[in-house]
């Protein structure tokens, strides 16, 4: 197994069988977030490229599904999944080989593209991300590719919300650098209108200190009136047998509680 891994125990998705649609061994992402648990971005880009062929995903998924129990097939992995130029085709493969729901975890940066929104819309569940209330903090925390603008990313998220009939969640990664901005971030998220807000802090190994439970609890009031969940308020499921250990190690997911 090289692109299919897990299942990973997820507080949001349950037993999540991962597919890395870029399939690389170094991180290729449009962001280089301060808190990223996968280390520095090796290739910061907004260029979509085909790296993993559908036959390989089909073969690995069929093998994995014979060996493990999962609740969802999730496209994520090392870097930003929408940089895979054939993401839509790969989602189609997942649909063909299994009845499990399909999720994509994206940083939302390419939602300004109609092509990307169309491919994301093939999933049942899409989780985007918004960690900043404006351009300055966007550059400080997410350290995006120079062609990306905060306003453009947010407008892309609004457009996706208008078009997508599935479940759209927006994650806020709360760290000391945006703690005081949570109220303003929540106001921007209200204008996007997701089905759910996921209030998170980096509990996996990260260069940034995660917030303690009582610190994170202090910002939850900002999200009132929207459906929200927070990382300290949820349990992770038990997972049994897993596959794709090389990629799990690369993603620092092995042994995750
Ligand atoms: S968007 Fe995700 S993969 Fe990319 S740098 Fe940020 S946390 Fe890491």
pLDDT value for 1: 65
pLDDT at 252: 79
Residue 66 CA to ligand 1 centre (angstroms): 31
The angle at the Cα of 231, spanning 228 to 235, to the nearest 5 degrees, equals 105
Q: With cut-offs at 50, 70 and 90, classify the pLDDT of residue 235.
A: confident
109 Cα nearest atom in ligand 1: 1
Closest atom of ligand 1 to CA, residue 79 = 3
Does the CB atom of residue 36 touch ligand 1 within 6 A?
yes
pLDDT (tens digit, 9 = 90+) per residue, 44-76?
999 999 999 999 999 999 999 999 999 999 999
Distance 29 CA to ligand 1 centre (A): 7
Q: Residue 254: its pLDDT value, please?
A: 56
**In 3-state terms, what secondary structure has residue 233?**
helix
Q: Is the pLDDT of residue 257 over 50?
A: no
The pLDDT mean for the chain works out to 95
Distance CA 160, CA 208 (A): 30
Q: Whose CA is nearest to atom 3 of ligand 1?
A: 79
Residue 188 pLDDT level (bands cut at 50, 70, 90)? very high
Give nearest CA residue, ligand 1 atom 5. 32
The candidate with the shortest Cα–Cα distance to 198, out of 228, 225, 162, is: 228
Q: Which atom of ligand 1 is nearest to the CA of 142?
A: 6
81 backbone dihedrals φ, ψ, rounded to 5°: -65, -30
- Fold entry, domain 4-250: TIM Barrel (3.20.20)
Ligand 1 binding pocket includes 107 (Cβ within 6 Å): yes
Q: pTM score > 0.85 for this model? A: yes
Distance 36 CA to ligand 1 centre (A): 5
Rounded CA separation 128/185 (Å): 14
d(CA 44, CA 172): 21
Ligand 1 pocket, residue 171 CB under 6 Å: no
Break the chain into its structural domains and give their ranges: 4-250
Residues of 38-48 as b/e, b for ≥16 C-beta within 10 angstroms?
beebeebebeb
| pLDDT > 50? residue 255 | no
Q: What is the pLDDT of residues 135-155, one digit of tens each?
A: 999 999 999 999 999 999 999
């Amino acid at each position: 197994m090289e692109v299919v891994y897990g299942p990973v125990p997820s507080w949001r998705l349950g037993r999540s069988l991962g597919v890395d649609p870029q399939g690389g061994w170094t991180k290729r992402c449009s962001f280089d977030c301060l808190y990223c648990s996968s280390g520095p971005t090796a290739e910061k880009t907004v260029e979509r490229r085909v790296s993993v062929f559908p036959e390989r995903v089909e073969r690995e998924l069929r093998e994995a599904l014979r060996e493990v129990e999962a609740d969802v097939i999730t496209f994520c992995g090392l870097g930003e999944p929408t940089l895979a130029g054939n993401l839509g085709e790969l989602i189609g493969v997942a649909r063909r080989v299994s009845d499990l729901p399909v999720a994509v975890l994206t940083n939302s940066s390419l939602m300004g593209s109609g092509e990307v929104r169309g491919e994301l819309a093939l999933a049942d569940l899409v989780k985007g991300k918004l960690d900043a209330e404006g351009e300055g903090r966007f550059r400080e925390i997410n350290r995006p590719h120079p062609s990306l603008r905060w306003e453009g990313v947010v407008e892309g998220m609004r457009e996706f919300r208008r078009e997508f009939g599935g479940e759209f969640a927006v994650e806020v990664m709360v760290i000391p650098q945006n703690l005081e901005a949570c109220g303003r971030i929540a106001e921007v998220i209200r204008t996007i209108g997701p089905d759910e807000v996921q209030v998170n802090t980096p509990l996996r190994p990260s260069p940034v200190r995660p917030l303690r439970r009582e610190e994170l609890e202090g910002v939850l009031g900002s999200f009132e009136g929207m459906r929200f969940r927070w990382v300290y308020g949820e349990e992770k499921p038990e997972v049994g047998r897993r596959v794709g250990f090389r990629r799990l190690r690369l993603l620092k997911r092995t042994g995750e509680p």
